[in-house]
Structure 1
Amino acid sequence: MQNPAQAKASTGKQKGAVQQRLFLKSISERQDGRR
């Protein structure tokens, strides 16, 4: 069984990856609008 600290770290990592993906997506959409 994972200890709470490890579980928290893994969920935090997943959240960070999702936010980064949304961030990159918004940037690429903005660049598409500029074209």
Structure 2
Amino acid sequence: MVGALTKTSVLLETLQMCTCGIMFSIFVKSRIT
């Protein structure tokens, strides 16, 4: 149970980081263009 919970939180954290990275790259691209 605890292991699954940790896995889920890590997955959510990774997803958040990916979303932040995508938003940041879009922001940088719009600034350059």
Give TM class, smaller chain.
0.7 to 0.9
Point out the structure with max Rg over C-alpha.
1
Query: What's 2:29 paired with?
Result: 25
Segments of structure 2 that go 5 or more residues without pairing to the other structure are none
The aligned amino acid for 2:18 is Q
Segments of structure 1 that go 5 or more residues without pairing to the other structure are 30-35
Give 1 or 2: higher helix fraction: 2
CA distance in structure 2 between the partners assigned to 1:25 and 1:12 by the alignment:
20
Count of matched residue pairs: 29
State the identity %: 10
- Say what the alpha-carbon RMSD is for the aligned residues: 1.6
TM-score by length of 1: 0.72
Q: Which runs of at least 4 in structure 1 moved beyond 4 Å after TM superposition?
A: none
TM-score by length of 2: 0.75
